[in-house]
Amino acid sequence: MKRVAIILLVFLIVVWSSFIVWEMQITKWERTITGPATRVDLVLILPILIGITIYVIDQIITISKKK
């Protein structure tokens, strides 16, 4: 069961790292446009990512308690 918890932690690290890189690229892109930009990714992707994180942490805690 410990291996599953490690895999879930790696999953969270990869997902959050990808999101951070995405945000850095979007920030660079925003500097190139002249008009206002609507940040739909922060409205849609971020809450989903937070929900996934809460779920995965709950699963890790559940796995740890089953020992």
Q: What residues does each domain of the chain span? A: 2-65
Q: What is the reported pTM?
A: 0.80
Q: How confident is the model at residue 67 (pLDDT cuts 50, 70, 90)?
A: low
pLDDT computed for residue 14 by the predictor: 96
Buried b (16+ CB within 10 A) or exposed e, 3-30: eebeebeeeeeeeeeeeeeeeeeeeeee
* DSSP code of residue 38: -
Question: Can you tell me the distance from the alpha carbon of 23 to that of 41, in angstroms, rounded to the nearest whole number?
Answer: 9
pLDDT computed for residue 17 by the predictor: 97
pLDDT computed for residue 54 by the predictor: 97
Is residue 25 classed as helix, strand or coil in its secondary structure? helix
pLDDT tens across 11-60, in order? 999 999 999 999 999 989 988 988 887 888 888 999 999 999 999 999 99
